[in-house]
Structures are given as structure tokens and as C-alpha cells.
Chain A
Amino acid sequence: MNDRPPIVLNGIAASPGFAAGPLCRLDTALASYAPKATRAEEIEALVGAIAAASAAVAELIARADGESADILEFQLAMLADDSLAEPALAAIGQGEDAASAWTRALDNEIAGYEASGDDYFRARSADLTDIRDRVLRVLTGAESGAVPAGAILAGEDIAPTRFLETDWSAGGGIALSAGSSASHVAMLARSRGVPMVVGLGDALSALAGEVLLDAKAGTLTGFAAPADIVRHRAAAAAFAAARSSAAAYLSKPARTADGTPVLAYVNVADPSDVEAIDVTTCDGVGLMRTEFLFSRGLPDEETQYRAYRKVLEWAQGKPVTIRTVDAGGDKPVPGFTVAEGNPFLGLRGIRLSLSRPDIFRVQIRALLRAAVHGTLKVMFPMIAVASEYERAKAMFAEEALALSALGTVHRMPPLGIMVEVPSVAIAPEAFSDVAFFSIGSNDLTQYVMAAARDNASVAALNDTSHPAVLRLIREVADFGAARGISVSLCGDAGGDPALIPHLLEAGLRELSASPAQLAAAKAAIAGVML
């Protein structure tokens, strides 16, 4: 097929699966704009591109939900406002072409937001950038049929809106030179089962044409030899077969080969995730992240309340464990997190929440009010010492009193902690009065192994199956069993068929996995003889 030697790039698998298809670059839109003959045609091109972009956003709104829909509503309102294009239209009148006039006008707007002293408004520059690029893609023709079905989208990173507007029904995948497996897009990809590899490096720009994405091993192959293609097809078929045989386990309760029942929960990142999950296939929600609510600035109490209530009502009485906001680390929130030299060891999780009680109390009130709509449990991330738990617990009690005084309906949920800082796993006896433990295996592993989970160059060290990590998990499980405190695990390990036997042998009987991994997790549990 070609004479070039194959190029194999190594990255980090962010969402498992296989895809083969044409590489489609996300970031070369502007290069190809061909200026029109007259100013009138330039104006027509810009007005038409804005209309097409608006129509595309409107169509997305119909399919989106919650936070995603709010972002898109805002973008649509901006696109529909004639003031947005006015400076660009004036520049075209001065002889500029549509693409550069639009870019300059929007860059001006973006600069205005970036210069704002207010974090919330500063963060809106991302929306304006999204609007700018969406129109540019139409102008340069990148949007109209240039993304073939089943394409592998490639770039430095990918916007959540870009993910949402892509039709994944014909396959395809995502290959990023940078990116993070902890990003919101990665979570979306895992919950939709879209293969994704991140951290492929700058060499990604050297690839073109048909490529093979192996999002199990974390590789991208370009200029593949026929033998590579045959091997890739076989691996993809085996993966699909394993996925569908695992699907047979989905509807059954999780049990080991010798009949020991295991509780299998799902992880939820966005309240709208639950719409695609059949509640009868799981035992509840083991981890509902709340960072997504904070991804567009600070959410008000009502927005949070609605999101929590939605998931609690979906669960039909099964337990839903919601984690208070785990911002900081690799998850910055404008107006909340602080810039730090070493963010994973800095002001993140409960540390940040306790330092900003004004923000934390809004979340606490929303949780207390939502608790009446199901079986809520609340846990705190990044607890290192018992006084953090005590302070957070006291704030819950204070807010509950305040709600009572107002006559607002609410309920106090059981309060537990994440076990992810080694101090807790090594000396759990300081936490004898928590309602439950939930082991965050991703952070526990990165802190025990001193290997950041978003750094490709130390990925081999970031290993949950290392005896040091497994020993800590076993000790926490033993401690919980001795004190009658339930212990679950909600990191990526909980959905990893290779790690599940180790976790069950360590004594865990409650695992939480992402929805796309639930079937494989149950299948793996069924293969374990204890």
C-alpha cells in the first residue's frame, strides 16, 4: 500500500478500544481559507458561516443536557447577536477577507475577557474561542464533510463541545499530542466508549492518512504495513468480542466464581451520564464527581441541587455517593483554585473547600436539600488528617441547622472519606468514626509511587498492582471489616479486569467502575475464585 516504514507513537490510553480510519487534524482550519473575489462575497461568506454555525449549535442543544446545554445556549445567543460580527463586517468593508476579519474581531473580544479581573469572566474566553473556531471551520470548509465518518480526530487537545458534536456512531477515535486521561473529554469518551489516546507527543504532526488507534495499549500507528493492519483488526475483533461477552454479565448481580457477592457501582462525572445507564445493571453510584459542575465557573446552589437530585431520583433508592468538589491538582476552577508550583501536593480537594467556606457551604446546602430525594452518601476528597473530616462534618451540621431555621426540607447524609492520601491508608485508626471509606486508587497510587498520573514519562511507575499499593488497600479493608465500616474502591482500578482479582483478594467487596467498564468489571469478578 505504501513504501514508508510504519511510525508507531506511544501515548497513554484514556478510553479503551480500537479504531482505524483517516487522521483528521483539529487544528489546521485557518490555513486553507481562499479569499473571495469581492467584498460582497466575503460578507456573504461570513454571514453564511455564522448562520451555519448557529444551526449546528442549535442542533447540538437538542441532543445535549444540563451544563452542556447551558454552554451551548450561551454560544447560540452570542452567535445570534449582530453585534458580534459588526467589527468583522466593518473590516471586510475596508478590504479584509472574511476569515482574518472574523479572527481579529473575535480575538479582540477574547482579549477583553482575558483582561478581566474576574475569574469567571476570564474563563468565558474559552467559549469565545470555541465560537471563533466553529465559524472558522465553516468558513474554511473544514466543517462541511471534511470530517469523514470513522475519522481519528487528532490535535493538541479537544474541546468538550467538539466531542459532543461529533457523530461517533460510525466509529472513530481521538488521538492527542497533549491532553490528559483525567480531562472531561476523557471521561466523556469512556462513558460513550469512544477510543482515545493522549500524550502522543509532537510527533503526532508527522502522521497523515489512514492510521490505526490502539487505545488499549495506547499507541497510534501511521503508514501501517499490511501485517500491522491484520494484527490491528484481530485485536479490535477480540476486544469487541470480549466487550460483548462481558455485556452478558451486565444484567446479572456481580458474583465471584465461588458465589461471593460483590457490590458493583458506577462512577458518574456529569449528571447527564446516568441517562445512558440502566439502573438495574448496577448497585448504585460509587462516585459522583462534582467537578463538572464547576467547569464553567462556580455553580449556584440551585444548579447543584438540581444535578444531585437528578442522579438520586435516577437511582431509585439505591445508594448514591457524591464527592464534594475535588478541584485543584489537574482540575483548576476559575475563581476557586490557586496557581501552585506543585498542585497535586497543594491546596486541592477538602483543603481547598475548607479554605473557601463561602463556596463549600453552597455545595453543602445543595447536598443537604438533595438528600431527601434518595439514598445519599457524601464523601470528602484528599482527607489527610482527622481534623479536616471533623471541620467538614461540623459545617454540615451548621448548614443543616440553618436550613431547619428556614423551614427548608433537608436530610443529613452519612459522611465518609476518600482514602487516597497515604497518611489515611497507613493510619486509618484516626478515622474510626467516619461512616465509610472509599479508596481513590488513582491518587493513592500516584502518591505512594510518587508518579504523577498525567505524566507519560513515569506511566510505568504509576502501577496500582504494586505490592506497596495493594498492601495498603488490604490494610484499609481489614480495618474497615474489624470496625464495621464499609470500604469501597472508586478509582480506575475498580473497572480494570487485570486489577480486579487483586482487589478482591485484598478483601474489597464493593467496587465502582465507569459505566463503559461495568460489564467488563462484572465479567472479571465472575472469573475470580476466592
Chain B
Amino acid sequence: MMSATAVASVLITHEVGLHARPSVKFTKLAKTFAARVEMALDADGPWIDAKSIVKVMATKAPKGTTIHLRAEGEGASAVVEALVALVERDFDEGDHAKSA
């Protein structure tokens, strides 16, 4: 299996930032991929395991924070894309989910 790497950054627009429920969704999604995926609040690190809710919550990223993602291994670009999309959708919790 070829090893691949992927990087991306995304702005958190969710009202209270990367809080409990979004963090649960974020880490659960990350864990569905085999690739090693890390997250940082600064492009230079420190990098933490994006599959660990303990570590992700501990970054205490409020609204308006840009998070950086990097992944390595099988499905690296897919996991980064999926996580960026989740953050951009406000973790499926915001105003985007309009009622019928």
C-alpha cells in the first residue's frame, strides 16, 4: 500500500467553537479512517492526535480559530477532506439545517 500525506486548514465558525458535541462528531469521524491524522492550532504545531477527544477538547478551540490538519497513510486525503467538510458544515448543527 502506497503511503500518502495530506494537509489542509479550516476556520471554525460554530458558535461556541470545537466544544463537546462537535468534538465527539469530529473524533468519531476521524476514527472511521485508517490514516494517522493530526490537528494543530498553529501550522508549526504542536500537533495532536485528531482521533483523541481528550486531546482535541484540550485545545479549547473557540469560534474563529483556524485549525490545521495533516494526515498520513491509507486514505489520508479522504480523512482530511471529510473533517474539513464537517467543520465547514458547522458540525451539522448550525443554521444550515433549515426546517421544512
Check A109 against B20 for contact (C-beta < 8 Å).
no
Bound CA–CA A296/B99 (angstroms): 24
A118 within 8 A of B: yes
CB distance from B41 to the nearest CB of A (A): 13
The answer to whether A74 touches B54, judged by C-beta atoms less than 8 angstroms apart, is: no
Task: Say whether, besides A118-B17, A335-B16, A78 and B95 are in contact (CB < 8 Å).
Answer: no
Closest residue of B by beta carbon distance from A71: B20
B54 lies within 8 A of A298 (CB) = no
Interface string of B9-28 (1 = CB under 8 A from A): 00000111101110110011
A109–B60 Cα distance when bound, in Å, is 12
Question: Which of under 10, 10 to 19, 20 to 34, or 35 or more describes the interface residues of A?
Answer: 20 to 34
- Interface pair B19/A303, CB less than 8 Å apart: no
Specify the chain A residue showing the minimal Cβ separation from B90.
A300
Query: Beyond A118-B17, A118-B62, A120-B16, is A77–B27 a contact (Cβ under 8 Å)?
Result: yes
Question: Which chain A residues in 44-89 approach chain B with CB under 8 Å?
Answer: 70-71, 73-74, 77-78, 81-84
**Quick check: A302 and B93 within 8 Å, CB to CB?**
yes
| B6 proximity list for chain A (CB < 8 A) | none
Asked if B20 and A127 make an inter-chain contact with CB atoms under 8 angstroms apart, the answer reads yes
- Collect the chain A residues with CB atoms within 8 Å of residue B94's CB: 300-302
Q: Is A389 an interface residue (CB 8 A)?
A: no
A301–B17 CB distance below 8 A: no
Return chain A residues, CB-CB under 8 Å to B95: 301-302
Q: Confirm or deny: B86 has a beta carbon within 8 angstroms of a beta carbon on chain A.
A: no
In the complex, the answer to whether B20 meets A74 with C-beta atoms within 8 Å is: yes
Say if the beta carbon of A116 comes within 8 Å of chain B: yes
A305 and B99 within 8 A (CB): yes
Q: Does A112 contact B (CB under 8 A)?
A: yes
Chain B nearest CB from A483 CB (Å) reads 35
By the criterion CB–CB under 8 Å, are A78 and B53 in contact?
Answer: yes
Which residues on the A side are within 8 Å of B53 (C-beta)?
74, 77-78, 81
**Alpha-carbon distance A83/B54, docked complex (angstroms):** 6
Q: Does A292 contact B (CB under 8 A)?
A: no
Asked if A81 contacts B54 (CB within 8 A), the reply is yes
| Nearest chain B CB to A442 CB, angstrom units | 30
- Closest A-chain residue to B96, C-beta based? A302
Is the Cβ of B54 less than 8 Å from the Cβ of A70?
no
Interface flags for B51-71 (1: CB within 8 Å of A; 0: not) read: 011110110101000000000
Count contacts on B: residues with CB < 8 A to the other chain. 27
Answer whether residue A137 sits at the interface, using C-beta atoms and an 8 A cutoff. Answer: no
Query: Which residues of the other chain, B, contact A74 by a CB distance below 8 angstroms?
Result: 20-21, 23-24, 53
Which of chain A's residues have a CB closer than 8 A to the CB of B55? 83
> In this complex, which of B16, B24, B27 has the most chain A Cβ atoms within 10 angstroms of its Cβ?
B16
Task: Considering the complex, give the chain B residue whose CB is closest to the CB of A127.
Answer: B20
Q: Which of B1-47 contact A (CB under 8 A)?
A: 14-17, 19-21, 23-24, 27-28
Does B49 sit at the interface, judged by CB under 8 A?
yes
Secondary structure dominating the interface of A: helix
The CA-CA distance from A318 to B39 in the complex, in Å, is 49
A300 touching B60 in the complex, CB below 8 Å, given contacts A83-B49, A120-B19, A127-B20: no
Q: Determine whether the beta carbon of A297 is less than 8 Å from that of B54.
A: no
Task: Give the shortest distance, in Å, between B71 (CB) and chain A (any CB).
Answer: 18
Q: Looking at the assembled complex, report how far the CB atom of A65 sits from the nearest CB atom of chain B, in whole angstroms.
A: 15
Nearest CB of B to A19, in Å: 34
- Given known pairs A81-B52, A302-B94, A408-B98, the reply for A73 and B21 (CB within 8 Å) is yes
Nearest chain-B residue to A85 (Cβ)?
B54
Residues of A within 8 A of B100 (CB): 409
A303–B94 Cα distance when bound, in Å, is 9
Shortest Cβ distance from residue A451 to the other chain B in the assembled complex, whole angstroms: 37
In angstroms, Cα B27 to Cα A257, docked, is: 61
- Across the interface, which residues of A come within 8 angstroms of B19, CB to CB? 120-121, 124, 297
Partner of B20, one of A124, A301, A369: A124
What residues of chain A lie closer than 8 Å to B60, measured between beta carbons?
A: 113, 116, 118, 121
- The docked-state distance in angstroms from the alpha carbon of A236 to that of B98 is 51
CA distance A309 to B98 in the complex (A): 13
Q: Is there an interface contact between A70 and B20, defined as CB atoms closer than 8 Å?
A: yes
Q: Which residues of B contact A84 (CB under 8 A)?
A: 54
Find the B residue at minimum CB distance from A80. Answer: B53
Contact with A along B74-92 (1 / 0, CB 8 A): 0000000000000000000
Q: How far is B16's CA from A362's CA once the two chains are assembled, in angstroms?
A: 13
Cβ contact within 8 Å between A300 and B54: no
With a cutoff of 8 Å between Cβ atoms, the chain B residues found around residue A109 in the complex are 54, 58
A296 adjacent to B20 (CB under 8 Å): yes
The residue on A at minimum CB distance from B48 is A83
B53 and chain A: residue at smallest CB distance: A77
What residues of A have a CB within 8 angstroms of the CB of B97 in the complex?
Answer: 302
Q: Bound complex: CA of A82 vs CA of B20, how far in Å?
A: 17
Q: List the A side residues contacting B27 at CB < 8 Å.
A: 77, 81
Cβ-defined contact, A298 with B21, below 8 A? no
With A77-B27, A369-B99, A409-B99 as contacts: A120 and B17 at CB distance below 8 Å: yes
Kindly identify which residue among B16, B20, B52, B62 contacts A83, using a CB–CB cutoff of 8 Å.
B52
User: Which 9 pairs show the lowest CB-CB distances between chains A and B?
Assistant: A74-B20, A83-B54, A121-B60, A83-B52, A120-B16, A77-B53, A81-B54, A84-B54, A77-B24
Q: List 11 A-B contacts (CB under 8 A).
A: A84-B54, A109-B58, A112-B58, A116-B60, A118-B62, A121-B17, A124-B19, A300-B16, A300-B94, A301-B95, A302-B93
Extra contacts besides A109-B58, A121-B17, A127-B20 (20): CB < 8 Å: A70-B21, A73-B21, A74-B23, A74-B53, A77-B28, A77-B53, A81-B54, A83-B49, A83-B54, A83-B55, A112-B58, A116-B60, A120-B62, A121-B62, A124-B20, A124-B57, A298-B15, A301-B94, A362-B15, A372-B99
